[in-house]
Amino acid sequence: MKIGVYPGSFDPFTIGHLDVLKNAAGLFDLVYVAVLNNSAKSPVFSVEERVEMINRMIESEGLKNVRSDAFGGLLVDYAKQIGAQYIIRGLRAITDFEYEFQIDAVNRHLNPEIRTVYFMASPAHSFLSSSNVREIGEMGGSIEGLVPQCNYHYLRERLARQK
Ligand code: ADP
| 92 classed as catalytic | yes
pTM above 0.85, yes or no: yes
- Of all helices (H) and strands (E), which one includes residue 160? helix 149-162
Position 12, amino acid: P
Structural domain count, the chain: 1
Q: Is 41 contained in some domain? A: yes
157 and 53 in contact (C-beta within 8 Å)? no
Range of the domain at 32: 3-127
- Please tell me the distance between residue 14's alpha carbon and the centre of ligand 1 in angstroms: 9
Report pLDDT digits (tens) over 31-90: 999 999 987 778 999 999 999 999 999 999 999 999 999 999 999 999 999 999 999 999
Q: Is residue 87 classed exposed, middle or buried when 0-12, 13-18 and 19+ CB atoms within 10 A define those classes? A: buried
User: Which CATH number characterizes residue 81's domain?
Assistant: 3.40.50.620
Q: Is 12 in the pocket of ligand 1 (CB under 6 A)?
A: no
Q: Are strands 86-91 and 66-71 parallel, antiparallel or unpaired?
A: unpaired
End-to-end CA distance of the chain: 45
Report pLDDT digits (tens) over 120-162: 999 999 999 999 999 999 999 999 999 999 999 999 999 998 8
Q: Is 145 contained in some domain? A: no
Q: Is 35 in the pocket of ligand 1 (CB under 6 A)?
A: no
- Quick one: which atom of ligand 1 is closest to the CA of 129? 20
Q: Is 21 in the pocket of ligand 1 (CB under 6 A)?
A: no
| 142 classed as catalytic | no
Q: In whole angstroms, what is the distance from residue 131 CA to residue 10 CA?
A: 10
Q: Are strands 115-120 and 66-71 parallel, antiparallel or unpaired?
A: unpaired
Q: Is 142 contained in some domain? A: no
